[in-house]
Amino acid sequence: MLNDDARRQSEIARLGSDLRTAKIELLSAQCAADRLRLQYSVQDIISFGEPQVLKGAIASAAAVFRFFASLEHQMKQAEKQE
C-alpha cells in the first residue's frame, strides 16, 4: 500500500514536470509560427513552401489543438461540477 502511494506521488510529480516541459515546447512552436507569419505572406508560404512540410506542420498543429481543446472541455466540465 505504501509503495503504491509513493509510486502515485512519483507519477504526479512526473506529470507536473512533463506539463511544464510541454508548455515551454509549445511556446517555442508558437514563436516559430509567429516568425513565419511576420516574415512571409500566406501566399508566399503556400506558393514556395514544400507542400509535404506544410501538410505535416498543419497536421501536427491540428493534433495539438484537438488534444488541448479536449483538455479544456474536460476542465470546464470539472469546474461546473465544483
Q: Looking at residue 6, what is its pLDDT?
A: 87
The greatest distance separating any two alpha carbons of the chain, rounded to the nearest whole angstrom, comes to: 61
Please give the DSSP secondary-structure letter assigned to residue 50. -
Q: Looking at residue 18, what is its pLDDT?
A: 97
Q: Looking at residue 2, what is its pLDDT?
A: 66
Q: Sign of the CA dihedral 67, 69, 74, 78?
A: positive
Four-point Cα dihedral 29, 31, 36, 39, nearest 10:
-170
Q: Looking at residue 9, what is its pLDDT?
A: 93
pLDDT at 1 over 80: no
pLDDT at 82 over 90: no
Using a cut of 0.85, tell me whether the model's pTM lies above it: no
